[in-house]
Structure 1
Amino acid sequence: MLRYLLLALFSATFLCPLSAMAHFQELIPSHDIVSTPSESQLSLSLKFTHPMSQGPLMNMARPVQFGVVGPEGKQDLLATLQSQSIQGAQTFNAQYRIKRPGDYLFYVEPAAYWEPAEGKMIVHYTKVVVDAFGMEDNWDAEIGLPVEIVPLTRPFGLWTGNLFQGVVKRNGKPVPFAEVEVEWRNDGSITPPADPYITQVVHADANGTFSYVMPKAGWWGFAALLEGKKPMKNPEGKEVPVERGGLIWVFTRDMK
């Protein structure tokens, strides 16, 4: 009897599919660099998913904040969001026209997401930088999100194999030894040979600075995940832990 109980425990622990995969809030623009007027109309896609695994998509409630910091100051873009259903999950997209040269820092604060498999609420404050017409004047600016990755490497114009560095900050202060998860937004060309290849993990140093070399062209997401200092109520009204993440997306191209 003991043998069968041990086998059952092993199966339940190790053989069941892992449901607690890394979650990433996507905020992906149609262009990371705007070089011509014909590219000035941006489309932005917002999805909550597992990018390296190509899903599944999680249902997004309407975000709390969505905006941009650029040459015209800080703009609230929440009203521009359009919802759509993909694979039965709600996602969002938006349109934005670039009017002036400069760096545009798009950001989103999604509504808290209840993840029963992990027993916690998840809030991922996410941003992406789009450069317009070569001004390059504000890419390292801080938006002031509760958890934020501030880039030390210019987050556009990157070749495959470039080193990306950023500082993890909470309420404007560096977070020593913060854990940062890294995923490539899979286009279907790569099948990870084992689970550890899906999500790369690095730790920041004592100053909150982390580094990662991006080995393939495409979109890369960096997610600094911190435990919230205060619990939050889940949909059943029970107080549970909160994961507050700071994310940034960067794009790399092959040198040809």
Structure 2
Amino acid sequence: MKRLLMASALAVMAPALANAHFLLQYTENTMIERPGEVPVKLAFWHPMDNGPVMDLALPEAFYVIHRGERTDLLDTLQPVTFTSPVNSGAAFNGTVPVRRSGDYILVTVPQPYFDETEEIYIQQITKAFLNRNQIPTDWDQALGLPAEILPMTKPYNVIAGSSFTGRVLADGQPVPHAEIEVEYMAALPQMDRAEVSEPVVGPMPGGAIVIKSDANGYFSFAVPRAGHWGFAALGVGPQTEHDGVELSQDAVIWVRAWDMQ
């Protein structure tokens, strides 16, 4: 009976949440002061609605770029359960070695996920950023990913009330008129346990926030409050099919906004 009720709740929520999937690469801090192993949680979730969790399979790739050098982090991942108020799903905890000063760009290339409500596969190639000692090194460099958002604004210390600008790329080329969903992490994952914190805002009226890139792939968004903001350019990657089924190969970027003190 409990499973039946849960399935019914997900079915009711599906139309509103179908376009709000976001792959998280969450760290409690983006500005790192001391060298060490920084914990990171990978989860596939609806963070603005604090809604359903989707099971995340072991990624195809998980690595960090620092001063142009790539370090594979796949062997740091340990399976865990991630729980929202709606359900629980498979996720991973990992670590990122932060030693020298500069930027650390986290990249996850997940396995395609089959969304039964939309009857398509989704693959969200995701970037997030850490920095040590406030010395910028890599944040403005394209990585040559199949689907990628290149930040035009330094992504780990955006000022709340200002704007974030990015450029949508596919295999290094600009993507004109891309549809981009914007998501706020209303509740925060807890690194030492399965659940999330209490949400600080509720879902937006009208559903997902959507903006478009211009003819040269650029977009801007006025960031209204501090916290973690995600941007997902939908279906911009060159791969459009997986196992004979439609694939949406998305580019996701997470940025951190701060209030001025």
TM-score, normalisation: structure 1: 0.86
1:229 CA displacement? 4.4
1:133-174 C-alpha deviation (Å, 9 max, x unpaired): 122021111222100000011112222112100100001100
Give the root-mean-square deviation of aligned CA atoms.
Answer: 1.7
Q: Provide the residue aligned with 1:255 in structure 2.
A: 260
Retained in 1: the 8 A contact 2:239–2:249? no
Corresponding pairs, count: 233
- Counterpart pick for 2:219 among 210, 213, 221: 210
**Which structure 2 segments of 5+ residues have no match?**
1-10, 188-198
CA contact (8 A) 2:43 2:82 kept: no
Q: What residue in structure 1 maps to residue 167 of structure 2?
A: 167
Contact kept? 1:28, 1:46, Cα under 8 Å: yes
Residue 77 of structure 1 is matched in structure 2 by 73
Alignment partners' CA distance in 1, 2:214 and 2:126: 22
Query: Match for residue 58 of structure 1?
Result: 54
The amino acid across from 2:249 in the alignment is R
In the alignment, the residues of structure 2 paired with residue 156 and residue 193 of structure 1 have an alpha-carbon distance, to the nearest angstrom, of: 24
Query: In the TM superposition, what is the alpha-carbon distance from 1:79 to its structure 2 partner?
Result: 0.5
Q: Deviations over 1:207-239 (max 9, x none)?
A: 000000110111000001116544212xxxxx2
Alignment gaps of 5+ in structure 1: 1-14, 234-238
Which shows bigger deviation, 100-109 or 128-137?
Answer: 128-137
Given that 1:21 and 1:50 are in contact with CA atoms closer than 8 Å, whether structure 2 keeps it comes out as: no
Equivalent position of 1:231 in the other structure: 241
Q: Which amino acid aligns with 2:77?
A: L
Identical residues among aligned pairs (%): 34
- SS for the counterpart of 2:75 is helix
- Conserved 8 A contact 1:71-1:100: no
Q: TM-score, normalised by structure 2?
A: 0.84
Q: Distance in 2 between matches of 1:63 and 1:208?
A: 27
What is the rounded CA distance, in whole Å, between the counterparts of 1:176 and 1:251 in structure 2? 25
**Alpha-carbon contact 2:73-2:95 (below 8 Å) kept:** no
Mark the structure with the bigger radius of gyration. Answer: 1
Q: Distance in 2 between matches of 1:68 and 1:178?
A: 26
* Structure 1 pair 218–16 and aligned structure 2 pair: CA distance change class (3 A): same
In 2, Cα distance between equivalents of 1:71 and 1:149: 19
